[in-house]
Amino acid sequence: MRSVTMLQLFPLILLSSGLMNHVIMMPIVLQYGERDSWIGVLLSAAYLLIWVPLIVFVSRRTKQQRITDYVQGRTGKLGSALFKAFLFFYLAVFAYVTLFNTITWTTSTYMQLTPNAIIALPYLILCGLAAYYGIRSIVFTAGILLPIVIALGFLVGIGNYHIKDYSLLLPLFEKGYGDMFVASFLVMCGFAELIFILFIQHHARTKLKTGYLFVLAFLLFGLALGPLVGAITIFGIEEAERLKYPAFSQWRVLELGQYLTRLDFFSIFQWLAGAFTRQAIGLYIAVDLLGAKTKKSRLVLILSLTFLLWLTIFIPLDEPTFIVYLSRFYMPFSLFSAVLIILWLFLVSLKKRKKHKRIERGKQTHEATH
């Protein structure tokens, strides 16, 4: 049932992908792009000029159907099974990255003595409950959380303005143009998550418009650029590169007057709002992909997936290795997967069009002979 509007889906995408662009991606972009990383973000905007119209085009070709049903209707059960398997693997990697990053950040900043498994359990239960109650509960929760997250973002940006030194953004291209292009590629990997709008488009009763999606893309662009520039201008490029969580560290230096200091607890709300939305929508799409029809089957699937996700906490992976995994595997994999899904849907839509034309030509020939 199409129970929400397309605009109501945008806060969900903004919180989910915003966590990637705003938090997860930033230390990697700083590490590889160094001082030229903010220019790389600007360059990546050109990618959005292609990516956004492409997503809208595919959405219109599919007529905002469930994309798995669309693929099955045009490629048969085998093509649909392959598509679902690939999409499920993409969602599994997506969910694991979100969970591991959130839990390791929690235990390394403000809950150092609490075991990872203990922190992950209530967090996953909450995300599972949101996924069980459906897209409306996730969308409306995101609609409530987003204005608060945005207000806090302006607070930390404006509050730290007096300690920012914008001369630290220069000089550029000291090591050539390579760092800029690497940073641009990494940011493009984050922007690729705009494709999630296609996974939930069948819930919207209004159409996806190009202008609205460009606004959403511009906001994600701002989430990538603003904190990155803030980290460089506050800490300098050498210190910013050494920080594990530059966005979090900007809250630690925020002071409002003489007595209001150590406001970094606000960043906990920001991070968990994005992580909760990201994890919940990933679970919901996975259950929807597996074709759960009844409430009982949905509950069983959500409990099973939540338990499997919880078990991944016990994988012996340290944080430095995880950062390498993010930069060398997950981010290129995310971009490759998004491009492959778009290309798959595009080719499927062309196949239908050619078949339709052959039928029309056959009808015209038949009518001409009679």
- pLDDT at position 231 is 93
Cα angle 197, 219, 65; round to 5: 10
**Orientation angle between helical segments 6-19 and 210-242, nearest 10 degrees:** 10
CB burial of residue 14 (10 Å; 0-12, 13-18, 19+): buried
Residue with tokens 């990383």: 37
- pLDDT at position 1 is 60
3-state secondary structure (DSSP) of residue 161: helix
Mean per-residue pLDDT pooled into runs of 10, the chain (370 residues): 85 91 88 92 92 93 89 88 92 94 90 92 95 93 94 92 92 90 92 92 90 93 92 93 88 84 87 94 91 86 95 90 89 93 88 47 44
- pLDDT at position 156 is 92
- pLDDT at position 21 is 86
Q: What CA–CA distance (Å, rounded) separates 44 from 188?
A: 6
Residues 6 or more apart whose Cβ sits within 8 Å of residue 225: 38, 41, 42
Check: CB of residue 337 under 8 Å from CB of residue 90.
yes
Phi-psi region of 134 (alpha: psi -120 to 50; beta: other; left: phi over 0): left
Residues 6 or more apart whose Cβ sits within 8 Å of residue 207: 6, 59, 60, 64
